[in-house]
Amino acid sequence: MKLIKTFLMTCMFFLLTAQMTFASDVDRMQGFTPPQATTVTGTDTYNNLVPELVIDKDLSTGWTSDKKSASLDMTFPEPIYLKFVQIAAVSTPASNVTYTIYGLQNDEWKVISNPIAHDVKESTILEPIVITEGSYKAIRISAVSPTSWIGIYEITIGDKLESETPVVEEPNPDPSDNRAILVVTMTPGLEKEFDLSMQEVNSFIDWYEAKQAGSGRASYAIDKHDNNKGPFKSRKDYILFDRVMTFEVSEY
């Protein structure tokens, strides 16, 4: 009896391991498709293009939001050690879409990639997005487009990049150390430019996405720091949500 129990446990371990490391059948994509028990949810869905279609290994089907700012959550049956996420995206019309990856560890969501902008056409397989490597119970892909609804047709994940594939972005354990120029385009076309830390930029993006989902304040205060400070102790620019047309992040 003990021998049979040991044999069954060995088989279960082998099957679980094989499932977690099985290479994706998605053509031209790296890593592997998440395990079958993975659950996928989106902030919203257009028509019948549901979130579950992003892990069906079929580039002709996928999830589409009816908004220009949306996010997709993938929750795994067990934590998975990851180094990158790859996305097959769609945008009609073509657009420059900014993606940010979050990871769930100890019931806390953390930013695990820099915001990365990609030119997305009718069907585009993006370069793998390098993340802060670690073991994650879930990942969240947040996307913002200035002109088109968010569309993702397939997602793969992995713990090893192919050596011949160039890595566009280096992982950054603490994105708040970097800085960026945030340009917010307001109605009727007025542009506001700010030199901020990435932590400040991410806070602005989090506010915008939360408000887009129906929660949060109607305005957001951005500290101008030493820009045109003059005789004042401090200066803040209050951005009204319903006046924001687009925003651009240029990291340096």
The model's confidence at residue 13, banded by pLDDT at 50, 70 and 90, is very low
Report the distance separating Cα 34 and Cα 73, nearest Å: 12
* Residues present in the chain in total: 252
Residue 22: Cβ-neighbour burial (10 angstroms; 0-12, 13-18, 19+): exposed
Q: Which residue in the block uniquely carries the two structure tokens 């579950």?
A: 52
3 state SS of 110: strand
The average confidence (pLDDT) of the chain is 84
Higher pLDDT, 235 or 8: 235
Amino acid in position 158: G
pLDDT of 21 strictly over 80: no
pLDDT at 20: 43
Report the distance separating Cα 15 and Cα 63, nearest Å: 29
The model's confidence at residue 194, banded by pLDDT at 50, 70 and 90, is confident
Report the distance separating Cα 235 and Cα 219, nearest Å: 15
Report the distance separating Cα 182 and Cα 205, nearest Å: 10
Amino acid in position 183: V
pLDDT at 211: 85
- Report the candidate in 130, 125, 139 with the shortest Cα–Cα distance to residue 159: 130
Confirm if 128 and 146 have CB atoms less than 8 A apart.
Answer: no
For range 29-47, the mean pLDDT = 93
3 state SS of 88: strand
Report the distance separating Cα 151 and Cα 50, nearest Å: 11
Structure tokens at 152: 């993702």
Q: Which pTM does this prediction carry?
A: 0.57
pLDDT at 169: 57
Higher pLDDT, 107 or 235: 107
Half-sphere exposure of 45 (CA within 13 A, CB side): 15
Higher pLDDT, 14 or 240: 240
